[in-house]
Chain A
Amino acid sequence: MGGDSKLNIMQTWTLKPGVIETDLDDELVLLDPKTQGMFSLNGTGRVIWHGLKNAESLESIAQKLEQQFTVTLEQAQTDASALISELEKAGLIS
């Protein structure tokens, strides 16, 4: 994932109301019923999404990724930033 390292690490996000989750075990599918837009998350993405749902900051989410996957904190922040930017572009969070 190409990262967007300009996000504030203390920032939190709000989920778009009405987004539907379908849990397929190995991936979590997000569906925006208004646009029919679909977004598929792998294991890392699932951790990031649940962090966003709990209004956790980028820093907190990255720490969880560091704990659960074999990545450095810096890499975790880069990966989380990239996905968060994609979710913002898709209108699923703001």
Chain B
Amino acid sequence: MSFSILGRQLINSDLSLQPWLELYFRFPYEVEASHYQIELLQKSLPNFPHQLPATILELPDAKLEMRHLESEFWFGTIQSGMRFTFDAGISKLEWWGKEIPFNALFIGICEGLRLSGLVSLHASIAAKNSSATAFLGPSGRGKTTTLLRASIAGWQIVAEDFSWLMPETMQLYGFDRGLRLLPDTAKLFKQLHQDIQLLEMIAGKYVVPYEQLGVQRQVVKLERLAVLERNPDAISSWKALPRREGALALWEANGVPFTPEAQNFISSTIPKLLATLKLETLVLGQGELPLGNTELS
């Protein structure tokens, strides 16, 4: 069982994993095939390196142990976990346990995609005329609300939370399937879409599939970073973003990879992105957001 993730081949040998893989990683983008492979293998109980000190990764809804031995990265525990190794052109994820280690597998697949030359963005993305802006900021800063306001102003929604960027072409591919709305944001959403019932709630957020909103999946060119800044005393406005702030925002949006090789890749790619993109701060302050007259020059 295999499928392409933006031209990279994902190879899976376990049927029980397939629905989850397809939900998070199978999107119908037509991209030229690369030789890169990400291989998932289910293993019996491994020779787990208990003796190594563990780093605790703080995930949004869980904690995950990581151990590092030369070029091997171990995630989870002997009961349920994953060993990540890589070589030229391939990342291997060997996993075990009665409980599938979904968090470890997600982290491992994303690392493989970074090692293959992609940059991930935890950001809300909206586009005008196929030219996209990434709204960046930590959780709770207002990314989804800004995305909704951009939608009201006539922008197209590309991604609410997660996307992958090909740095050579600056083409951006949304990798989520709908809006996830906190109750506050849901109030704004209801003003926009009175006909849509907010029923399904996951992890404290209402989920609205893009199909329900008529959002068309599209490939866009990333042209601007907009770091969100809350300032209730200021007028809502755009202002220039220093490059060092842009660098930090991109590191936060991509996450810090766990392999030195992927860290080096992201580290060398960020300056190129900053040289290409328009860098701005969008001040979320008093008055309407200035989203109506923001054509990129």
Residues of A participating in the B interface, judged by any CB pair closer than 8 Å? 20-25, 27, 29, 31, 33, 36, 38, 40
- B271 near A24: Cβ-Cβ < 8 Å: yes
Residues of B within 8 A of A25 (CB): 271
Could you tell me the distance between the alpha carbons of A25 and B270 in the complex, rounded to whole angstroms? 12
Does B247 count as interface, using CB distance less than 8 angstroms?
A: yes
**Known A27-B244, A29-B244, A29-B248; contact A22-B271, beta-carbon cutoff 8 A:** yes
**Of A20, A36, A38, which is within 8 A of B244 by CB?**
A38
Nearest 10 CB-CB pairings of A with B: A33-B256, A40-B244, A22-B247, A29-B247, A38-B248, A29-B244, A22-B270, A24-B243, A24-B271, A22-B267
* Beta-carbon contacts under 8 Å, B215-249 to A: 243-244, 247-248
Does B39 count as interface, using CB distance less than 8 angstroms?
A: no
- B263 near A23: Cβ-Cβ < 8 Å: no
- B271 near A31: Cβ-Cβ < 8 Å: no
Q: How far is the CB of B97 from chain A (nearest CB, A)?
A: 27
**Known A38-B244, A40-B244; contact A20-B274, beta-carbon cutoff 8 A:** no
- A20 near B271: Cβ-Cβ < 8 Å: no
* Beta-carbon contacts under 8 Å, B112-127 to A: none
Of all chain B residues, the one with the shortest Cβ separation from A27 is B244
- A21 near B271: Cβ-Cβ < 8 Å: no
Interface centre among B244, B256, B267, B270 (most CB of A within 10 A): B244
Residues of A within 8 A of B271 (CB): 22-25
Residues of B participating in the A interface, judged by any CB pair closer than 8 Å? 243-244, 247-248, 251-252, 256, 263, 267-268, 270-271, 274
Per DSSP, chain A at the interface is strand
Chosen A-B contacts, 20 in total, with CB atoms closer than 8 Å, are A20-B251, A20-B256, A20-B263, A22-B251, A22-B267, A22-B270, A23-B267, A23-B268, A24-B244, A24-B247, A24-B271, A24-B274, A27-B244, A29-B248, A31-B247, A31-B248, A31-B251, A33-B256, A38-B244, A38-B248
Q: How far is the CB of B226 from chain A (nearest CB, A)?
A: 19
Could you tell me the distance between the alpha carbons of A81 and B82 in the complex, rounded to whole angstroms? 45
Could you tell me the distance between the alpha carbons of A31 and B252 in the complex, rounded to whole angstroms? 10
Of all chain A residues, the one with the shortest Cβ separation from B245 is A38
Q: How far is the CB of A26 from chain B (nearest CB, A)?
A: 8
**Of A21, A27, A36, which is within 8 A of B267 by CB?**
A21
Of all chain B residues, the one with the shortest Cβ separation from A23 is B271
Residues of B within 8 A of A27 (CB): 243-244
Q: How far is the CB of B145 from chain A (nearest CB, A)?
A: 23
Of all chain B residues, the one with the shortest Cβ separation from A41 is B244
Could you tell me the distance between the alpha carbons of A27 and B270 in the complex, rounded to whole angstroms? 13
Could you tell me the distance between the alpha carbons of A29 and B252 in the complex, rounded to whole angstroms? 14
Residues of B within 8 A of A29 (CB): 244, 247-248
Of all chain A residues, the one with the shortest Cβ separation from B246 is A24
Could you tell me the distance between the alpha carbons of A29 and B274 in the complex, rounded to whole angstroms? 13
Residues of B within 8 A of A36 (CB): 248, 252
**Further 5 A-B residue pairs, CB within 8 A, beyond A36-B248, A38-B247:** A24-B244, A31-B247, A33-B251, A36-B252, A38-B244
